[in-house]
């Protein structure tokens, strides 16, 4: 899935200078990346101040030039190796927007997103090559920065299909039965303005300014047709989709996503993540359902809990991330294992147990969550947490697991304040626009 | 100034495993960095998928291992090459805090910050090696992540010295005359809760989670002695202190900081940035005064301005960043230059002209600003802007320039909402604590 523009596809080379290899040019990070992600664990020797380069040394590339193709069987940004930064936006269609307006927008979004993921500006004219007496096509803050592994993923919310809106857009009868507002779960304290939405765009990149630039410019293209409902920034992925890099840690200091569905688990992806080819309605074949949950963490309370309590709540140890039944991070937990005093090694209400596939009829999800920090409240407490994103072939997978977490010890330290469900259609072929199988 | 822990000082090697070189270990970014910053522009050849390694190839290091020494003549985080991420916190001393309490805190902060900047946890016990029945010393989300070029810079606000507080702390007579609340400037729309403060900590790092971890853990150490007054996150530096990497762009899409005081301008640093050795009071010798300004940008208005208008406002072109009088980015602007129609090439009220040293009696400042994005307001507009940070030997430098910007065309598109001034003392010697020359 990963390619570098330096060795890129014919398509990314067609576009001339802006898409061409940038040998000798550097992102402002001034860093080198290992080619792809599969070699990140490869051995490279160093001696004081000088690289000891042996013949097995992997290729190094400027991470700014990493490009994930926009078109494909599935949308990028699901199994794509999780990037470091997120900018997520939910939109509502305006009351005056017609079906034609929305289709035009989806075409324009597709074209712009495809360019952005190649590290180009939204149009040929971009920020500086258009008529000087008009506003520039591109806002320009990512000029020359490169793609930085940007992916742009589109989804449709239930409210797009229902009520007056669904009738006006002519898609009232095309809503999948699974696509409906998520139920209110135990302890949910949802805030309306940061939940739901008619449409969504998930932009992920290894540079925050690139992700921000994508959402800003796509929002700008949507002006007059849709309006921004809510947005979310995130950093420091909290779940990987590949095991070549260490499992990241969430803001509770624990490794997160150890049991995630990985991009190379082909069978699990078919069973758990991708909507099957014989789907109803047919336009969702090859797509997936995306759940987002904004989860505030009461950081100060957590930080005052003992190490033993923290580990009991999670069911894993804080350093290695191994289940409390023993072993290492990727050792399967043994829920029947007991301590010397006869108590269960893994608490029956621990997060790892209640969320585990073994306790959920084998159900799994593909997660791509991010940490967020939004300053401090009036008491000086951190406003921080986890923006949870997961993909599954049926939203019921998330609903069942979330219901099973009703007794989760972790609930004492978290608060769900935002919630949304989106139908993410399959990927596009070249020349096709996102949503064409829905509107076409 | 820059060292890698792999080739590091004797001190950083003394600390055993956690401070030792981490050959073969990788940050979760999984990327390689060029050693230091001075080689970022060096040529490295690539052929499709394989590095073409020639003998001139610079050393590559894991950027996670870049360490800037905490102790030194000046505090780190001023001339240090500007990192990619900022977490800034201002604190107020509690009413019950005694001089002894505050001195103890400054000692504890110094010790913890020195460890953190080496990529260590706040104490030996850290997140997982302490007693399991107590809360861990370290919150643990940056375990094994490395230093990522972290710097931690401390400052003292005017309010620490004045009123009851200054008397209680015994420093009422030690306030520099220059250290007083900044005046209200034309068009200031300051919001009290995000201005001023008794103390501040600026944490900068190339990874956001590392910067966040530093402020979170230092805040935690301060619990009971100080409380958080306001915090600010930032990404994508908007000014460099070195010219080896391209000048970054702000959210208006323009290069920013072209005329910044650079770390290698020794004479300018002495003249403009460092408080001289014969300072009054003596404890500020070798220090600097830091101004912070939270500047909201009305992004949507800007994005609807024509390219010509945007360039007229800034006085530079949007692509290259050259002054409108001609040349390239680093060409000096010629304010008398005229267009063919006889009008001035650079508008008299353009930002570049009014902020230029030539229009300010030669006054300059060292800037380290960051972009910020804080979601969207109820209208769907971006809450975004520039967190401006500058260092100068006398706050009057900032005050004079800011007063000169009264007619700045840019004022139509920005709004200053936060403002603060801090006295940043000189660096510490080993065994010394931050503020020792003030309290000792």
**Strand partners for B60:** B34
| Confidence label for B244 from pLDDT (cuts 50, 70 and 90) | confident
User: Would you call A42 an interface residue with chain B, using a CB distance cutoff of 8 Å?
Assistant: no
Contact call for B24 and A43, based on CB within 8 A: yes
B399 has pLDDT over 80:
yes
The dihedral formed by the CA atoms of B398, B402, B403 and B404, expressed in degrees to the nearest 10: 110
User: Would you call B312 an interface residue with chain A, using a CB distance cutoff of 8 Å?
Assistant: no
A88 secondary structure, DSSP code: E
Residue B253: its chain A contacts at CB < 8 A? 127, 136, 138-141, 143
Other beta carbons less than 10 A from residue B206's beta carbon: 25
Q: Measure CB to CB from residue B46 to each of A23, A34, A138 and give the nearest one.
A: A23
Whether the link from the prior residue into B281 is cis, omega within 30° of 0, is yes
Report the run of H or E that residue B36 belongs to, with start and end: none
User: Would you call A224 an interface residue with chain B, using a CB distance cutoff of 8 Å?
Assistant: no
Cα–Cα distance measured from residue B25 to residue B414, given in angstroms and rounded to the nearest whole number: 44
Q: How many CA atoms lie within 13 A of B78 on its CB side?
A: 31
Q: How far is A373 from chain B (nearest CA, A)?
A: 8
What is the pLDDT at residue A22? 27
Contact call for A232 and B375, based on CB within 8 A: yes
What is the pLDDT at residue B324? 98
Q: How far is CA B260 from CA A50, A210, A314, B163, B238, in A?
A: 32, 24, 48, 36, 11
| Confidence label for B59 from pLDDT (cuts 50, 70 and 90) | low
pTM: 0.88
Q: How many helices (H) and strands (E) does chain A have?
A: 10, 15
Contact call for B135 and A318, based on CB within 8 A: no
**Strand partners for B414:** B297
What is the pLDDT at residue A59? 55
User: Would you call B289 an interface residue with chain A, using a CB distance cutoff of 8 Å?
Assistant: no
A18 has pLDDT over 50:
no
Substitution target from A17, A22, A25, A30 for chain B, most B beta carbons within 10 A? A30
Cα–Cα distance measured from residue B8 to residue B5, given in angstroms and rounded to the nearest whole number: 4
Q: Which of residues 143-182 of B touch A (CB under 8 A)?
A: 143-144
Average pLDDT of B206-233? Answer: 97
Q: How far is A248 from chain B (nearest CA, A)?
A: 7
B80 secondary structure, DSSP code: S
Q: pLDDT for A265-276, tens place per residue?
A: 999 999 999 999
B31 has pLDDT over 70:
no
Q: pLDDT for A354-412, tens place per residue?
A: 999 999 999 999 999 999 999 888 888 899 999 999 999 999 999 999 999 999 999 99
Percentage of chain A surpassing pLDDT 70? 86
Q: Measure CB to CB from residue A251 to each of B141, B144, B230 and give the nearest one.
A: B141
B45 has pLDDT over 50:
no
Q: How far is B7 from chain A (nearest CA, A)?
A: 5
Residue A251: its chain B contacts at CB < 8 A? 139, 141, 212
Average pLDDT of B22-39? Answer: 31
A314 has pLDDT over 60:
yes
What is the pLDDT at residue A157? 98
What is the pLDDT at residue A304? 96
- Closest among B24, B34, B30, B23 to B60, alpha carbons compared: B34
Average pLDDT of A196-221? Answer: 97
Cα–Cα distance measured from residue B438 to residue B423, given in angstroms and rounded to the nearest whole number: 11
Contact call for B44 and A31, based on CB within 8 A: no
Residue B136: its chain A contacts at CB < 8 A? 253, 307, 310, 318
Which residues does A329 contact at the CB level (< 8 Å), separation at least 6? A247, A255, A258, A320, A321, A322
B421 has pLDDT over 80:
yes
Q: Measure CB to CB from residue B7 to each of A21, A45, A49 and give the nearest one.
A: A49
Substitution target from B6, B22, B25, B32 for chain A, most A beta carbons within 10 A? B32
Substitution target from A209, A223, A378 for chain B, most B beta carbons within 10 A? A209
Q: Measure CB to CB from residue A209 to each of B235, B307, B310 and give the nearest one.
A: B235
Other beta carbons less than 10 A from residue A322's beta carbon: 17
Report residue B366: phi and psi, to 5°: -100, 120
Q: pLDDT for B338-384, tens place per residue?
A: 999 999 999 999 999 999 999 999 999 999 999 999 988 888 889 99
Cα–Cα distance measured from residue B277 to residue B285, given in angstroms and rounded to the nearest whole number: 5
Nearest residue in chain B measured CA to CA from A377: B230
Q: Residues B84-113, buried b or exposed e (16+ Cβ, 10 A)?
A: bbbbbbbbbbbeebeeebbbebbbbbbebb
| Confidence label for B239 from pLDDT (cuts 50, 70 and 90) | confident
Do A231 and B375 meet the contact criterion of CB atoms below 8 Å apart? Answer: yes
Q: pLDDT for B148-183, tens place per residue?
A: 999 999 999 999 999 999 999 999 999 999 999 999
| Confidence label for B396 from pLDDT (cuts 50, 70 and 90) | very high
| Confidence label for A55 from pLDDT (cuts 50, 70 and 90) | very low
Cα–Cα distance measured from residue B247 to residue B267, given in angstroms and rounded to the nearest whole number: 22
Tokens of A437: 């199988």
B205 secondary structure, DSSP code: E
Contact call for A34 and B33, based on CB within 8 A: no
CA atoms A411, A416, A422, A428: torsion sign: negative
Pairing outcome for strands A382-392 and A288-297: antiparallel
Q: How far is B45 from chain A (nearest CA, A)?
A: 7
Residue found by looking up tokens 């998928």 in the block: B49
DSSP assignment string, A277-297: TT-SSGGGTT-EEEEEEEEEE
B8 has pLDDT over 90:
no
B20 has pLDDT over 90:
no
Q: How far is CA A66 from CA A22, A69, A418, B78, in A?
A: 11, 10, 32, 32
Percentage of chain B surpassing pLDDT 90? 78
Coil/strand/helix, residue B159: helix
Cα–Cα distance measured from residue A72 to residue B106, given in angstroms and rounded to the nearest whole number: 56
What is the pLDDT at residue B417? 97
Q: Comparing A144 with B19, which gets the higher pLDDT?
A: A144
Cα–Cα distance measured from residue B278 to residue A378, given in angstroms and rounded to the nearest whole number: 41
User: Would you call B18 an interface residue with chain A, using a CB distance cutoff of 8 Å?
Assistant: no
Do A418 and A302 meet the contact criterion of CB atoms below 8 Å apart? Answer: no
Q: Which of residues 339-398 of B touch A (CB under 8 A)?
A: 371, 373-376, 378, 380, 382
Nearest residue in chain B measured CA to CA from A2: B49
Q: Measure CB to CB from residue A245 to each of B26, B319, B375 and give the nearest one.
A: B26
DSSP assignment string, A307-374: HHHHHHHHSB-TTT--BTTSS-TTSPP-TT-B-TTSSBSS-TT-HHHHHSGGGTTT---EE--EEEEE
Substitution target from B236, B248, B313, B383 for chain A, most A beta carbons within 10 A? B236
Q: What angle do CA A162, A168, A169 make, to 5 degrees?
A: 80
| Confidence label for B30 from pLDDT (cuts 50, 70 and 90) | very low
A44 has pLDDT over 50:
no
Q: pLDDT for B85-98, tens place per residue?
A: 999 999 999 999 99
What is the pLDDT at residue A60? 64
Contact call for A299 and B376, based on CB within 8 A: no
Percentage of chain B surpassing pLDDT 70? 86
Q: What angle do CA A78, A369, A115 make, to 5 degrees?
A: 45
Do A232 and A385 meet the contact criterion of CB atoms below 8 Å apart? Answer: no
User: Would you call A413 an interface residue with chain B, using a CB distance cutoff of 8 Å?
Assistant: no
């Amino acid at each position: 899935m990963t390619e570098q523009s330096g060795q890129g596809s014919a398509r990314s080379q067609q576009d001339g200078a802006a898409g061409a290899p940038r040998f000798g040019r550097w992102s402002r990070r001034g860093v080198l990346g290992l080619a792809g992600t599969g070699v990140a664990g490869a051995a490279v020797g160093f001696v004081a101040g000088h690289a000891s380069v042996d013949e097995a040394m992997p290729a190094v590339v400027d991470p700014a030039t990493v490009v994930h193709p926009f078109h494909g069987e599935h949308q990028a940004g699901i199994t794509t190796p999780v990037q470091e930064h997120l900018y997520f936006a939910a939109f509502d269609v305006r009351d005056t927007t017609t079906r034609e307006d929305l289709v035009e927008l989806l075409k324009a979004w597709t074209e712009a997103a495809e360019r952005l993921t190649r590290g180009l500006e939204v149009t040929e004219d971009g920020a500086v090559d258009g008529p000087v007496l008009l506003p520039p096509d591109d806002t320009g803050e990512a000029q020359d920065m490169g793609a930085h592994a940007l992916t742009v993923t589109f989804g449709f919310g239930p409210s797009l299909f229902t009520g007056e809106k669904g009738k006006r857009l002519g898609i009232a009868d095309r809503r999948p039965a699974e696509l409906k507002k998520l139920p209110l779960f135990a302890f949910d304290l949802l805030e309306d303005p940061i939940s739901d939405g008619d449409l969504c765009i998930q932009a992920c990149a290894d540079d925050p300014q690139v992700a921000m630039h994508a959402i800003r410019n796509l929002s700008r293209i949507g002006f007059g047709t849709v309006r921004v409902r809510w947005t979310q920034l995130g950093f420091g992925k909290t779940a990987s989709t590949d095991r070549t890099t260490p499992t990241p840690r969430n803001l509770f200091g624990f490794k997160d996503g150890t049991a995630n569905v990985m991009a190379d688990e082909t069978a699990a992806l078919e069973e758990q993540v991708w909507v099957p080819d014989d789907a109803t309605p047919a336009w969702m074949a090859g797509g997936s359902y995306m759940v987002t949950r904004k989860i505030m963490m009461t950081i100060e309370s957590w930080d005052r809990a003992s190490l033993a309590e923290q580990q009991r709540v999670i069911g894993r140890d804080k350093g290695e991330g191994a289940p409390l039944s023993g072993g290492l991070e990727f050792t399967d937990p043994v829920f029947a294992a007991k301590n010397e005093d006869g108590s269960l090694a893994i608490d029956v209400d621990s997060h790892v147990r209640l969320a585990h596939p073994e306790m959920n009829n084998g159900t799994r999800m593909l997660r791509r969550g991010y940490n967020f920090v939004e300053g401090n409240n009036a008491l000086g407490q951190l406003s921080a947490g986890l923006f949870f994103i997961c993909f599954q072939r049926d939203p019921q997978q998330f609903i069942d697991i979330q219901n099973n977490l009703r007794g989760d010890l972790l609930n004492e330290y978290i608060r769900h304040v935002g919630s949304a469900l989106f139908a993410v259609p399959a990927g596009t072929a070249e020349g096709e626009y996102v949503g064409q199988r829905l509107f076409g």
